């Protein structure tokens, strides 16, 4: 696997789940980490895991949906670390419900965190990467952004938006040696999915050819690939990590 040795990586939503696994995987392969989460008090465990691998870590409180919060976090990150080589836009939420009954608040909340949040971090870190004349962005989308899902029109739209944002940013920043790709996970075992009813989980499993739910590390290994020079000739792409679901 191509190295991220000595690189500085910023991961949003790093307190738990897929974000934590990504931070740990990047640290295992030699990167130093800037960990961001709206629940900064939850970052201690991820930070301890990164330090246990001998890497440096900075923890920042950041709400991806608030531009002032994002800009303050990115300014502090650069003050403390000097540069940002890798950005992983991972923070995300769900507020599921059928379209006919979905409230405007639930629509706005999901679009604001998942899509606007990705835009705000991409813009703030993109400026730095353009100045550096180099960097890599990996955005966590979802299989649902590719195939849709009953009961998740807000989430599906937000993740389809993340994919379109990724492709546009890839086209805008390629000449500055900045790459942007997306990962579209399927059903991954985290706090986000543990709340789903058992019958829904059973139905989902029936659509997964590899016949198991994914683990956060399954996603993190692919993020590592996209963050490393092994994917040096890839930009604007979406890699699905779903056990074959949605093919």
Chain contacts with ligand NAD (rule: CB under 6 A): 12-13, 15-19, 37-39, 62-65, 90-93, 113, 117, 140, 142, 185, 187-188, 190-193
Q: Starting from the edge strand earliest in sequence, which strands make up the sheet with 32-37, in order?
A: 57-61, 32-37, 8-12, 86-89, 135-140, 178-185, 238-241
| Nearest CB to ligand NAD, comparing residues 95 and 176 | 95
Q: Least distance from C-beta 84 to ligand NAD, angstroms?
A: 16
| Nearest CB to ligand NAD, comparing residues 152 and 235 | 152
Whether residue 233 lies in the annotated active site: no
| Nearest CB to ligand NAD, comparing residues 192 and 205 | 192
| Nearest CB to ligand NAD, comparing residues 54 and 214 | 214
Out of 119, 121, 155, 213, pick the active-site residue. 155
Sole residue written with tokens 């979802």: 142
Q: Least distance from C-beta 130 to ligand NAD, angstroms?
A: 24
d(CA 24, CA 49): 7
Among 152, 139, 155, which Cα is nearest to 239's? 139
d(CA 41, CA 169): 32
Q: Least distance from C-beta 213 to ligand NAD, angstroms?
A: 8
Contacts for 210 with CB less than 8 Å, ≥ 6 apart: 243, 244
Q: Least distance from C-beta 223 to ligand NAD, angstroms?
A: 10
Specify the DSSP class assigned to residue 50. H
Among 20, 43, 9, which Cα is nearest to 219's? 20
Point out the residues that are catalytic: 155
């Amino acid at each position: 696997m191509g190295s991220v040795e000595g690189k500085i990586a910023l991961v949003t939503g790093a307190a738990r789940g897929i974000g934590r696994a990504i931070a740990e995987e990047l640290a295992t392969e030699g990167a130093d980490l800037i960990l961001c989460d709206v629940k900064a008090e939850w970052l201690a465990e991820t930070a301890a895991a990164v330090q246990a691998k001998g890497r440096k870590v900075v923890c920042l409180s950041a709400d991806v949906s608030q531009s002032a919060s994002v800009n303050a976090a990115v300014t502090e990150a650069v003050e403390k670390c000097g540069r940002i080589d890798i950005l992983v836009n991972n923070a995300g939420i769900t507020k599921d419900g059928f379209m006919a009954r979905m409230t405007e608040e639930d629509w706005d909340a999901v679009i604001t965190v998942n899509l606007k949040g990705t835009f705000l971090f991409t813009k703030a870190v993109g400026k730095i990467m353009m100045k550096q004349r180099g960097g890599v962005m990996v955005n966590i989308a979802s299989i649902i952004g590719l195939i849709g899902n009953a009961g998740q029109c807000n989430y599906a739209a937000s993740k389809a938006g993340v994919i379109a944002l990724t492709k546009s940013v890839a086209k805008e920043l390629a000449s500055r040696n900045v790459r942007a790709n997306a990962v579209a996970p399927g059903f991954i075992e985290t706090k986000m999915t543990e709340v789903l009813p058992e019958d829904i989980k059973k139905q989902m499993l029936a659509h997964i050819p590899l016949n198991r739910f994914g683990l956060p590390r399954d996603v993190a290994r692919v993020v590592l690939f996209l963050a490393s020079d092994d994917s040096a000739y890839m930009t604007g792409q979406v890699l699905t990590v779903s056990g074959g679901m949605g093919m």
